[in-house]
Amino acid sequence: MSSTKIGLGLAALGRPDYINIRPEAELNKSVEAFKTNALKVLDESYALGIRDFDVAPSYGLGEQFLQDWNDSRNHKNVNLSTKFGYTYVANWEIGFTGKHEIKEHSIDKLNEQWDVSKALLPNLKIYQIHSATLDSGVLKNDAVLSRLHELKEAHQLKIGISSSGTEQIKIINKARKIKFDGKDLFDSYQVTFNIFEQSTYSVLKELLAEGKTIIIKEALANGRIFKNDKFSAYKSSYQLLEELSKKYHVGTDAIAIRFIMDSLEPSVILSGASSSNQLQQNLKALNFKLNANDIEQLKSLAVNPENYWQERSNLSWN
């Protein structure tokens, strides 16, 4: 079986609105209800064997929820990762119509957010640039890169980037060239990869061969893997996913996650579950293995990255 672990990302647990295609169920969106649910899902995740948890300051109150859980449970064997570079500005306003988060990859923002995130130590293992981009200039900002190197040395952290968009490969390759004292600055790469967005496959395989930590986010394509009449272009994809779901007696989500495990074999795949039930369904991916033909069929579902990311940018917060 694959050595890939399933971790938990807190993007949907820490804020009332999130980019995803999920039904508008009757949901209590108070801070208290979200915190109760987040702690419940974190506890169940741990009980089910999950040890890797990923968050960011822009995930609403997600970082605070994770810190409260980490402090109160006092587990010694969890691996926490967080980021710097985005600030949550929706202020828990339901249906907020402006930008929910603002990007700033400055040295001031790094120091400001590190001052909060460092409370996750010593369980904090990976510290990342959140959605590193070429246009933000963060990968040539000497002050930021030097400070990250200082934090790496002082706290024995892995330093990483997360990436999104059509330039993921360029961003990753730029980051690979950054060194201090002859050693790579970046040890970890958190990348969007799923049945529809497979463009980074080759570079991720290279990084894995170099011993880097590869964390996969958006494994379910923000919910687009689930049958949806709004996405008529995926009709044949939905048919194949439904056939495989029946074959292996699991949900579409488990098929999508297992595909990543069997084809790419990354270090960690993040579940974006916002409930205990979703988490349990995702974890069924650990209980079976796709055959070679299944994998090849699923590889054929990849779409043009330009189309994938344009479609993602059109998704609404709900």
| pLDDT score recorded for residue 140 | 97
Is 73 within a domain? yes
Terminal-residue alpha carbon distance, the chain: 36
| pLDDT score recorded for residue 2 | 78
Is 231 within a domain? yes
- Cα(96)–Cα(111) distance, integer angstroms: 28
- Cα(175)–Cα(160) distance, integer angstroms: 9
Locus of tokens 């120091």: 111
pLDDT in tens, 47-77: 999 999 999 998 889 999 999 999 999 999 9
Is 249 within a domain? no
Is 44 within a domain? yes
Question: What single letter denotes the amino acid at residue 88?
Answer: Y
| pLDDT score recorded for residue 318 | 47
| pLDDT score recorded for residue 227 | 92
Domains held by the chain: number: 1
Is 213 within a domain? yes
φ, ψ dihedrals at 314, nearest 5°: -85, -10
User: Angle, nearest 10°, between helix axes 31-47 and 62-73?
Assistant: 50
In the structure encoding, which two tokens stand for residue 59, read together?
Answer: 């995930």
Is 18 within a domain? yes
The whole domain housing 210 covers: 5-235+255-274+288-309
Indicate if the pLDDT at residue 153 is higher than 60.
yes
**Closest C-alpha among 176, 307, 132 to residue 233:** 307
pLDDT in tens, 231-289: 888 999 999 999 999 999 999 999 999 999 999 999 999 999 989 999 999 999 999 99
| pLDDT score recorded for residue 317 | 44
Is 182 within a domain? yes
pLDDT in tens, 193-216: 999 999 999 999 999 999 999 999
How much of the chain, in percent, has pLDDT values that exceed 70?
92
Is 279 within a domain? no
User: What pTM did the predictor assign?
Assistant: 0.94
Report which secondary-structure segment, H or E, holds 281. helix 276-283
CATH code where residue 17 lies: 3.20.20.100
For residues 8 and 24, which has the higher predicted lDDT (pLDDT)?
Answer: 8
Residue 271 β-bridge partners: 8
> Taking all residues of the chain, what is their mean pLDDT, rounded to a whole number?
92
pLDDT in tens, 130-140: 999 999 999 99
Report which secondary-structure segment, H or E, holds 308. helix 305-313
